[in-house]
Structure 1
């Protein structure tokens, strides 16, 4: 498979993963007034673990005979997943969601820069400019108010660091390590976080509506896990990472359709900038492929 086709596959998986994660967030947000946070994380996690174990069995991916190096990478990635979940949820429930979103959308830039520093992946000035412009579009979408930022912004920054670590570690894994199995271990780690947190909060009985919402969140969370793990294992991170901005476009649609939140002109402009930068990155990759194939091979 050529690098170009690998980049395309990684970009598609990233888009699918971000869509799934965003729908999961919408389900969790919808039941947040009825179910305590850690109880929701625990129940959702149990459902995710059961489904992922079944998938691993059916696909023959339930592997415990992996080399020690791969287990070390899986554990580090899981710690990044758990840390990112904890810091993200702590920030989300203590500051405006627009501000948290603004900070988290620095992920593509952080991941791309980290890939350049730690993995030696090339990052040309055009891609760097596209990522930066895309981040400016993100700011137009969320329109954070400076007066609303508080010390919980540091938690959001810690979430960025944890997720960056998670994605960089995945690149070090062998492709022989099953993606569904990696997602299963991550789900176990996050579920343990919910279990520990539930020890210090009062649980409630789930209503039929809350149960259905948790089932929906679980299903989309599983899709998000698998797609995000696989996406970071195909193509260059600097190419795949900008497609995280898809989550913002999906959030805009869900805001209108589900919550009746109509975006203003600045938000729509920002969404347009995000989409254009993603398309520009894809265009640049296709031009580079054509240029490389046009160079005659030495005889």
Structure 2
């Protein structure tokens, strides 16, 4: 998960760096061509590409690809129009939304303390978004929409059986985003691509492969409550890249909101681990009897 977050955040920085030269769909199109071809080549070499996918997995992969497309559109649109650290700070709500969704859709237990922490975390998100306040833009709402899309994407990945390789799922996501960008290109005028922009998008193409693969592999085999806090490493990268590359730094309320979201996320992680240990100890004592 930590590697996934680093890959996605550096990918975001590369894509954001070309926002002054071309539109979103053109950037996604160029990145999509390179990343999809690279993943297909890697899968062909490693045997990770299969077409005899179980029927149930086909529907799960299709739904996951749709949520990936929606997440890419909402988040990258926000990223093109707001500081990278602000967009990343909103994404820090993901461990909270994934925990909540796990309780609602997967039947995972969430006590009142963790539920309260989730609500406080959402209040932290509101500090970042600040609807109605001066300086508020619709792109903050786009970032929130991306959170819900990624939550759906990650939960869907857990429903894909072990018979389907993670690389196949990742290729489907990359191909879906590329097709979406190709359709979007119909309404955009193609802009000349400078050498710097081309290199940035090639870098993004390589990094997005790592992001797709690690995200899929992690959510399929990892325990949600354990891996979720490692998402917070993306905020550290976003703050550093925002300052060094783009000369951006969040204001006090944004940092306070981000700290609130991170703190509540870590608390939910702590509670989950504590409850898991208590259950394990109870089972061990029962077996000894």
Range class of TM-score, shorter chain: 0.7 to 0.9
Relative to the length of structure 1, the TM-score reads 0.81
Alignment pair present for 1:17 and 2:7 = no
Task: Please list, as runs of the form range in 1=range in 2, the aligned pairs for 1:234-253 lying within 5 A after superposition.
Answer: 234-253=221-240
Relative to the length of structure 2, the TM-score reads 0.83
Cα gap change, 1:144/1:59 in structure 2, threshold over 3 Å: closer, same or farther?
Answer: farther
State the Cα distance separating 1:92 from its structure 2 match: 4.5
* Superimposed CA distance per residue, residues 45-82 of structure 1 (whole angstroms, 9 cap, x where no aligned partner): 11110111122112211110011111110001001111
Q: Which moved more, 1:282-291 or 1:57-66?
A: 282-291
* Structure 1: distance between partners of 2:139 and 2:259: 29
Cα gap change, 1:281/1:112 in structure 2, threshold over 3 Å: closer, same or farther?
Answer: closer
Q: Which residue is 2:246 aligned to?
A: 259
Cα gap change, 1:211/1:96 in structure 2, threshold over 3 Å: closer, same or farther?
Answer: closer
Cα gap change, 1:72/1:162 in structure 2, threshold over 3 Å: closer, same or farther?
Answer: same
Tell me, yes or no, if the aligned pair for 2:83 and 2:248 is still in contact at 8 Å.
no
Task: Please list, as runs of the form range in 1=range in 2, the aligned pairs for 1:74-85 lying within 5 A after superposition.
Answer: 74-85=61-72
SS, match of residue 261 in structure 1: coil
Q: Which residue is 1:56 aligned to?
A: 43
State the Cα distance separating 1:20 from its structure 2 match: 1.3
Unaligned runs of 5+ in 2: none
* Superimposed CA distance per residue, residues 156-175 of structure 1 (whole angstroms, 9 cap, x where no aligned partner): 44433332221221121112
Alignment pair present for 1:224 and 2:211 = yes
Tell me, yes or no, if the aligned pair for 1:42 and 1:191 is still in contact at 8 Å.
yes
* Structure 1: distance between partners of 2:248 and 2:85: 13
Q: 1:122 aligns with which of 85, 109, 124?
A: 109
Give the number of equivalent residue pairs: 286
Q: Which moved more, 1:251-260 or 1:87-96?
A: 87-96
Cα gap change, 1:163/1:293 in structure 2, threshold over 3 Å: closer, same or farther?
Answer: closer
Tell me, yes or no, if the aligned pair for 2:48 and 2:168 is still in contact at 8 Å.
yes
State the Cα distance separating 1:148 from its structure 2 match: 3.7
Cα gap change, 1:285/1:87 in structure 2, threshold over 3 Å: closer, same or farther?
Answer: closer
* Superimposed CA distance per residue, residues 93-140 of structure 1 (whole angstroms, 9 cap, x where no aligned partner): 567767755654443333222221111112233443444455555566
* Structure 2: distance between partners of 1:270 and 1:264: 10
Cα gap change, 1:34/1:184 in structure 2, threshold over 3 Å: closer, same or farther?
Answer: same
Task: Please list, as runs of the form range in 1=range in 2, the aligned pairs for 1:275-290 lying within 5 A after superposition.
Answer: 276-277=263-264, 279-290=266-277
* Structure 2: distance between partners of 1:276 and 1:106: 11
RMSD between aligned alpha carbons?
A: 3.1
Task: Please list, as runs of the form range in 1=range in 2, the aligned pairs for 1:141-290 lying within 5 A after superposition.
Answer: 146-149=133-136, 155-262=142-249, 276-277=263-264, 279-290=266-277
Cα gap change, 1:72/1:65 in structure 2, threshold over 3 Å: closer, same or farther?
Answer: same
State the Cα distance separating 1:259 from its structure 2 match: 2.7
Alignment pair present for 1:37 and 2:13 = no
SS, match of residue 220 in structure 2: coil
Tell me, yes or no, if the aligned pair for 1:92 and 1:100 is still in contact at 8 Å.
yes
Tell me, yes or no, if the aligned pair for 1:239 and 1:281 is still in contact at 8 Å.
no
* Structure 1: distance between partners of 2:67 and 2:114: 26
